Amino acid sequence: MLTQIIQTQRRWLVLAALSLTLAGVFITRTAFAKVLLNTIDPVASVSDHGRRLALTGPLQVTAGERVVLRVTVSQRTTGAVAEGETLFTATGDLQHWAVSARTFGRQGFEPGPARATALALTIARGGQVTDSHQWLVDITLMGE
Tell me the pLDDT tens digit for each residue of 85-100.
Answer: 999 999 999 999 999 9
Residue 76 neighbours by CB under 8 Å, 6+ apart: 115
Question: Rounded to 5 degrees, what are φ and ψ at 119?
Answer: -130, 120
Residue 38 has a pLDDT of: 85
When the pLDDT of each residue in the chain is averaged and rounded to a whole number, the result is 85
Cα 67 to Cα 46: distance, rounded to the nearest angstrom: 25
CA nearest to 131, candidates 38, 37, 84, 61: 61
The rounded distance, in Å, linking the Cα atoms of 129 and 35 is 12
Through-space distance between the first and last CA atoms of the chain, rounded to whole angstroms: 87
> What is the band of 35 on the pLDDT scale with cuts at 50, 70, 90?
confident
- What pairs with residue 97 in β-bridges? 57
- Under the banding of pLDDT at 50, 70 and 90, the label for residue 125 is confident
* pTM (two decimals): 0.75
30 has a pLDDT exceeding 70: no
